[in-house]
C-alpha cells in the first residue's frame, strides 16, 4: 500500500510541475493527465495496486477506505 501511495504522490506532484511549466511534459505525464480526464486508473498506479475494474473515482474512494 505504501508503494502505491508514494507512486500516486510522486506522479501527481510531477504532473502539477509539468502543467505549471516548471518541468517539461513527458509522455508519461501526458498519459497520466488523460487517464485522470477520462476517469481511468493510470497504469502506473494499477501496476502497484490491487486488481479492480472500477473507474478512477470509485477506485480512489475504495483506496481511501482501505487505507483508513
* Domain spans, the chain: 2-67
User: Whole-number mean pLDDT of the chain?
Assistant: 94
- The whole-angstrom separation of Cα 37 and Cα 34 is 5
Count CB atoms within 10 A of the CB of residue 63.
21
Write down the pLDDT at residue 16.
Answer: 96
- The whole-angstrom separation of Cα 34 and Cα 66 is 25
| Residue 59: pLDDT over 90 | yes
Answer yes or no: pTM beyond 0.95: no
- To which residue does cell 518541468 refer? 23
Backbone angles phi, psi at 54, to 5 degrees: -70, 155
Amino acid at each position: 500500500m505504501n508503494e502505491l501511495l508514494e507512486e500516486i504522490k510522486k506522479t501527481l506532484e510531477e504532473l502539477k510541475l509539468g502543467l505549471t511549466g516548471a518541468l517539461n511534459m513527458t509522455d508519461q505525464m501526458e498519459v497520466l493527465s488523460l487517464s485522470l480526464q477520462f476517469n481511468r486508473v493510470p497504469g502506473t498506479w494499477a501496476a502497484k495496486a490491487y486488481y479492480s475494474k472500477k473507474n478512477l473515482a470509485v477506485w480512489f474512494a475504495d483506496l481511501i477506505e482501505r487505507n483508513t
